[in-house]
Amino acid sequence: MKFFVPFFMLSLFLFCTHYFVLNNIAAAELFISLYEVYLFNILSVTIIYCLFLVNQKAALFFNPMALFIFLTLIKMGAGIIILLPLFDMPNENLTFEILNFFGIYFIFQTLEIIGLKLLLK
């Protein structure tokens, strides 16, 4: 539980900063909205962390490394599915959209790894 409050506060700070930069400096229109990107990342990290918490508390004893790899592969697949509509349409901001998505994705992946490391100590 110590992970969730700082995680959500940092997520809110990142979202507000990113929103400000996109609306006031970059002024780019995105096909996949910033809300969707952050919602996907926040939910995926929360679900994965909760599954690890349940695995630890309920003594299910799934191998943490195998569980992490499996859940990360599912998360990556979901990310690609979210990005699929971008590849089917002409979009002049395609590179910007992909970098926008994966930049946030890897920041949240790092936060997830830090949280899981603290949980599994």
pLDDT at 92 over 70: yes
pLDDT of residue 32: 87
pLDDT at 63 over 80: yes
Rounded mean pLDDT, 21-38: 85
77-113 per-residue burial string, b: 16 or more CB within 10 A, e: under 16? eebeeebeebeeeeeeeeeebeebbeebbeebbebbe
Cβ-based neighbour number of residue 43 at 10 Å = 11
Amino acid occupying residue 71: L
pLDDT of residue 44: 95
pLDDT of residue 1: 67
pLDDT at 94 over 90: no
pLDDT at 46 over 90: yes
